[in-house]
Chain A
Amino acid sequence: MAMLSFPNIAYLIPLLPLLGFLVNGLLRNQLSHRAIALIGSGVMALAFGISLLVFYHVPAGAPTILTAFDFIRIGELQIPFAFQLDALSSLFLLIITGIGFLIHVYSSAYMHEESASHYGRYFAYLNLFVFSMLLLVMGANYVILFIGWEGVGLCSYLLIGYWFRNPAYSQAANKAFVMNRIGDLAFLIAIFWLIARTGSVSFTDLPMAIGTVGQSAKLSSLDITGITLLLFIGATGKSAQIPLYTWLPDAMAGPTPVSALIHAATMVTAGIYMIARSNLLYTAAPLVLSIIAIIGVATALLAATIALRQNDIKKVLAYSTVSQLGFMFLALGSGAYVAAVFHVMTHAFFKALLFLGSGSVIHAMSGEQDIRKMGGLKKSLPITYWTFLIGCVAIAGIFPFSGFFSKDAILLSAFLKSPIFYVIALFTALLTAFYMFRLFFLTFGGSFRGTEEQHHHLHESPAAMTIPLVVLAILSIVGGWVGIPEVLMHGGDRLVAFLSPVIPVSSGHEISHATEYMLMGLSTGLVLLSILFAWNKYKQYRAEESDNSFARLLENKWYVDELYQAAIVQPLHKLGGWIRSVFEPKVADGAIQGIGRSVRYLSQQFRLIQNGQTGNYALWMVIGIVVILSVQFFLRK
């Protein structure tokens, strides 16, 4: 049974969700709710089990490459359909299948009111989403990665527009896909560039391309800068960074578990993964790293300011994701790839928890998403309340919750890069704590502000929804303990050691323990103050005054959507309309119409001969051929 042992068994990891997609997709009209949920979640459980197996078998040295078949092979250009198993991919496999599984289980209850056919469609899409993401992280070269990359774009499109009868939702789905495609184009060009210079797209050929093993580099520094910059533009689309972030908040149109999937386990983490995967190239492109750090910290700050003034529970979480992704890019830009991957992991735990928790709230509130109309939910939803609180503490980054360790690693890397980055990042972390606890107190604290009917209906969610919450809450607490900084515990940072085959440990900056303690103490103290401030302000609800113009600016998300609309969408739309109704008929076609008019007489004759008599047509054909042949004959010398 060579197929069922390492490494070949890894083929099953993507194949299982694909199978689930096919079965649920094709048989959705025949299967019961129960069978659909069982198949959809079952394949995820199996995939998670196999991912665990792979995780424990993955060798510490060179990656294991599984080659299925040639995808494209032309001469020396070889692009195999191959998977790469190493520390980085196996870690992502665990996150994707593990959290993916919990989201599937949760969905089985959350989506239960859908008809069987739509329920089947939903689970099919969900499985396909996971399949695409698995291709993305398992792919052994940029092309297979790109297949998964566009695949998750497609699946997010299908799921955001899942409730397709609502036109606004399908608009949001289109927006997500198109913005992603802008980034995808840059990604594609980076691949072409790489092929042109190195003739290969495999990750294992990257060291050779930059010439670290004693031979001359195939890539000049201009090449590396160009390629990494283009790849990063691709990442801004997928991972919702400036300037391509505006699709993510709109993506809330999808069912809430889908948001959890997009924000935690799949999709938006793809950009981080891709850059961490390409870390050899990025380390050789310091200019691009600085750009990434600037974009990252700017996105983190911008999104955090917007989150301060949002009243839709999912919108707050969406902007917090954009902001947290900004943190991860700041880490990447500071060269702290492991810190970014670490934050992907802890963020996956607490963001999945928060989204699923918000789903539980929305479920209890009969679909209400406005936190101004909630309040006092602590009593009716105890499990949701406690787990949500854990999520908020984790994202705020309080010791010893998971967010503390990863955020601390990022702040430290920012400090080493430049004190300015550190200050902005720290400020953003304070905003994060503030808006998260504003959300928390408005939702769960104070007294209930909804309608009487909603109040009557309030209930804790069923076990299929609360168990995933509890599991994620535990992970949100302990998940950070794999990366305890050296200063707190000797040998505590096991993540760095684990990822070292893929991400070489940099030997650079060392800072004193005293400084490190001071930074930690400073951030923790300020975050606690920020939470206290939020508590003081929102423990009793009162309507927020939004008459000052800055608050309005934030409520309207800095008018970025409006700016894009006015500067890009509308002009293109107008140009298209002008070409269609003016240029095309008047100029491009006008010329030929002129010729047409001048031979109107001829066309009259043609009209006469179109009398439906096939005999005449045959005659005309013969005449035509004869004429052509005679012309030919006489022209002959």
Chain B
Amino acid sequence: MIALLLVLIPLIGGGLTLFLPRPALARPVALTIALISLIAVLLGLCQFTQAAHWSYDEEWIQPIGARFSLKGDVLAKWMSLLSSIGAVLSILGGWNTDRKLPARFYGLLLWMQAGMSIVFLASDAFLFYFGWELALIPAYFLSSIWGGEKRIAVTIKFFIYTFVGSVLMLIGLIYLQQLTPDGSFQWQAFRNLELTESKQIWLFWLFFLAFAIKVPLFPFHTWQPDAYEQAPTPVTLLLSGVMVKMGVVAMIRWLLPILGIGAFIWSDVVICLAVVGILYASLIAIRQDDLKRLIAYSSIAHMGLTVAALFSLTGFTNNSNVVLHYHHIGFQGVMLQLFSHGVNIMGMWLLADRIESRFGTRKLSELGGLARTAPTFTIFFVIIALANIALPLTNAFPGEFLQFNAIFHAQSPYRIVFLLLSGMGVILSAIYTLNMIRRIFYGETNAATENGLRLTTAETLALSIVVVLVLVFGIYPQAALNFTNDFSWEYLKSIDITRFLAK
């Protein structure tokens, strides 16, 4: 029931919002719907926790064997929580910005959320694919109608990139479906295929490319800074906070358990790309004058670390509990960081949006001295920016800490090199983040920043939610780790490819 509600609330709510008679109602209605989704998730986490509450299965498109089946495992619940928090933050953050056609804007925003809910919850590959596209189409329209000056060119690039990925994935899905005995798209049916190495080795790329573009992983990332820069901030916030997590979630659910051998064979290549991406994106961020692009590149670097950690967990354990234990440590980090990075990057977008809307510029060189004229805003910014670089006692520290452990235990001859290079990201991120803070907040004010900036109630509320999450999971990460603990252990057993050796 909960699972279905999480899809239906934003879907129907979005439809309602689209056709609201009075534009002024759009924001409150959209916020209400987002809050209802959030309450539904929280109820599902605290009250209705049984599997029955979180699953749904119905005939859907019978001719092709696709079913409308949703199943909320811990990963899905965790991401649904992030996604519903994201929707609330996104609407709150844009509360004071007047937009043309608000009803359409918020309606599409909610549909985006519906699509993401499907992606997180689907246990049918075709439904998953449907959600993947459903989330994308509103994002595409939102960017092309409400975006910045270069929105047309940028959205086309965004579209081409993701379309190429989607087509490849669709081919892969259909291929797998053909192999199942009963022509099913069910996750379990795919999982039972146990394909041979020679097939996995190329099938891997059909899926991986789609997911890597979404994350995005170097060198498939060039759509992202442009898209983040040009999209309206509430959309960027959802894109980077939640939608890019779809790429990692897809790898976790649809790639490693199904094409485990392929993933292991290519893991060195993937980790290498991820690690190069960390350095590459961080170096660009150091030389970036545009605040939004800087945040975009920092996001590429951070997601690169998560992907590197995830692929470090592939391979054989020989059913050794010791190896599993170390993988467990690393995977718990991936789970934690999926959530924490989402929260932090959404906080960064809220802040960046406020600066842009107040001063009409995103250029660091045109800002300065805000620490004196906007002290409260400065405190929010510094806390969230430091969380973004994983300072201890913020939420990203335990996540990154555990992820590095994953890389340390990768079954790769290059693991030490990977660890050292990805570790460089720790230093580089400090450089670009502190430079960003210095250029926005320190030094003397100029004509633009002289009058400071005030936060509205809605903005203060949104930023406070972020800061509370930063501190709660920073000081007591065990709360999150307890939630994901058993799931992580079982999951790692499921992606262990030792079972192929026995055959």
Contacts and interface: CB of A to CB of B under 8 A. Distances in A.
Interface in B239-283: 280, 283
Nearest to B107: A614
A579 B219 CA distance: 13
Interface in A607-637: 607, 610, 612, 614, 617, 621, 624-625, 628-629, 631-633, 635-637
Interface stretch (B38-46, B186-194, B439-447): B439-447
A220 to B, nearest CB: 16
A193 to B, nearest CB: 8
A69 B405 CA distance: 22
Contacts of A592: 157, 160-161, 222-223
Contacts of B371: 164
If over half of A's interface residues share one DSSP class (helix, strand or loop), that class is named, otherwise mixed; here it is helix
A73 B426 CA distance: 23
Interface in B349-387: 369, 371-372, 375, 386
Interface residues of B, number: 76
Given A75-B328, A147-B392, A178 B434 contact: yes
B170 A628 contact: yes
A511 interface: no
Contacts of A562: none
A178 B427 contact: yes
B12 interface: no
Contacts of B141: 617
Contact of A614 (B104, B126, B284): B104
B17 interface: no
A584 B283 CA distance: 11
Interface stretch (A181-189, A423-431, A520-528): A181-189
Given A607-B152, A633-B64, A170 B408 contact: no
Contact of A165 (B219, B369, B402, B489): B369
B144 interface: yes
Interface string B212-232: 000000110111000000000
Interface in B76-99: none
Interface string B101-132: 10010000000000000000000001000100
Contacts of B18: 614
A71 B145 contact: no
A636 B64 contact: yes
B329 A69 contact: no
Contacts of A577: 287
A589 B283 contact: no
B160 A595 contact: yes
Contacts of A75: 325, 328-329, 489
Interface stretch (A442-450, A454-462, A568-576): A568-576
Interface string A592-612: 110110010001001100101
Given A75-B325, A573-B286, A69 B476 contact: yes
B393 interface: yes
Interface in B417-433: 419-420, 423-424, 426-427, 430-431
Contacts of A185: 423-424, 426-427
B283 A72 contact: no
B342 interface: no
B427 A72 contact: no
Contacts of A77: 325, 329
A426 to B, nearest CB: 37
Given A174-B431, A576-B284, 11 more contacts: A71-B476, A71-B478, A73-B481, A75-B329, A147-B397, A177-B434, A182-B427, A188-B423, A572-B283, A573-B286, A596-B157
Interface of A: 69-77, 117, 143, 146-147, 150-151, 154, 157, 161, 164-167, 170-171, 173-174, 177-178, 181-182, 184-185, 188-189, 192-193, 195-196, 199, 572-573, 575-577, 579-580, 584, 588-589, 592-593, 595-596, 599, 603, 606-607, 610, 612, 614, 617, 621, 624-625, 628-629, 631-633, 635-637
16 contacts: A72-B402, A73-B478, A147-B397, A150-B391, A165-B443, A173-B434, A174-B434, A174-B438, A192-B419, A196-B326, A579-B280, A580-B287, A584-B222, A588-B219, A593-B157, A628-B170
